[in-house]
Homo-oligomer: A and B are copies of this chain.
């Protein structure tokens, strides 16, 4: 692919929001009416763009996020556990009935195909909340080849994020104290106009909060309004996943930071790879050989003034000018008064404190490898 040399050229074009290929979640009109006007596409759906105000507001208030673009893959039937396990090196055998797992999914050679959140809806019944890719087709391929007895569908389920400092307060007001018992990456079913729906303690922010896996389309606008009204005295707003928060806290984006030529070990997801025993991941033996990566994701501080907006990844060089990696995401770390980057760095240069050079489209900058992401405990 090409990095555009000429931002001016890019500024001249428009993308038609009326195109028939674009899908919209049942919360989308609510989100637009609440002020979200700028979008990008994610799983061929509209997902709102973030701004600096979102970041600061998240630290003090509460936000509703239309994250319906996080499509679910539903895998159900006698072979469901076996099929999901075939795609990931994370051991699912001890997964609790109320649990959500972040799982790296991999191809035959151990390269990343996605990084979904897996929810165990029931025994042999799973939802995978997928990053921007048709991961459903991988499962269809395995199921066809192995003649598995499963159904594989994209159900009408639209995650609605309740995120921010006052997320607990809002959820308690709507569903009572029971929500406080939900542990991180676990869920309870809560009542949504008479229907039990999954409310998980999860979400793509460092502030924490909940995700309601809203089923169907009927009464979507009513639940949005109900939450908005309940949050009136908590400074509630329509938000969206914020780049600033995710980069500061090292929440990786598939296709941006994690690419299909990376292993889970390179992506820093080694803790979700249980390699002692072959419990059914099709790439197990390939991955065994790749446990010790020669490059890995690292937090990178980029020095001095605020950065230009990235156009494609930026090359990382050492002091001799040799290419030693790339920066895939960067932003002003608004909470830390510096520039934060997500880097993929060769092992010779990944130790904290290593000095590097970043080639931005506007010239080079000094950079330094950090020991941990800014907002990570």
Q: Which residues of A come within 8 Å of B, CB atoms?
A: 1-2, 4-7, 9-26, 28-29, 32-33, 36-42, 44, 46, 49, 86, 107-108, 113, 132-135, 137-148, 152, 156, 217, 255-256, 282-283, 309-312, 329
The 18 sampled A-B contact pairs (Cβ below 8 Å) are A2-B23, A4-B29, A7-B18, A13-B38, A15-B15, A19-B41, A21-B42, A86-B144, A86-B145, A107-B144, A108-B143, A108-B144, A108-B148, A135-B137, A140-B141, A142-B142, A145-B145, A145-B282
The dominant DSSP class at the A interface is: loop
**Neighbouring B residues of A10 by C-beta, 8 Å:** 17-18
- Docked Cα-Cα span, A29 to B19, in Å, equals 22
**Neighbouring B residues of A139 by C-beta, 8 Å:** 141
- Docked Cα-Cα span, A148 to B23, in Å, equals 35
New contact pairs (9) apart from A13-B36, A138-B141, CB-CB < 8 Å: A2-B29, A9-B32, A12-B37, A13-B32, A13-B38, A15-B16, A18-B309, A21-B132, A41-B44
Contact B18 A2 (CB under 8 A): no
Copies of this protein in the assembly total 2
Contact B310 A20 (CB under 8 A): yes
Contact B137 A113 (CB under 8 A): yes
Contact B39 A15 (CB under 8 A): yes
With contacts A2-B217, A15-B39 taken as known, whether A107 is within 8 angstroms of B21 at the C-beta atoms is no
**Neighbouring B residues of A134 by C-beta, 8 Å:** 133-135, 137
Contact A24 B41 (CB under 8 A): no
With contacts A28-B2, A137-B134, A142-B141 taken as known, whether A9 is within 8 angstroms of B21 at the C-beta atoms is no
**Neighbouring B residues of A14 by C-beta, 8 Å:** 14-15, 17, 37-39
**Neighbouring B residues of A255 by C-beta, 8 Å:** 21, 44
Contact B46 A13 (CB under 8 A): yes
Contact B2 A16 (CB under 8 A): no
Which of the residues B1, B7, B29, B40 comes within 8 Å of A15, measured between beta carbons? B40
Contact B38 A16 (CB under 8 A): yes
- Least CB distance from A213 to B in Å reads 16
Nearest B-chain residue to A311, judged by Cβ = B18
- Least CB distance from A146 to B in Å reads 5
- Docked Cα-Cα span, A24 to B15, in Å, equals 13
- Least CB distance from A339 to B in Å reads 17
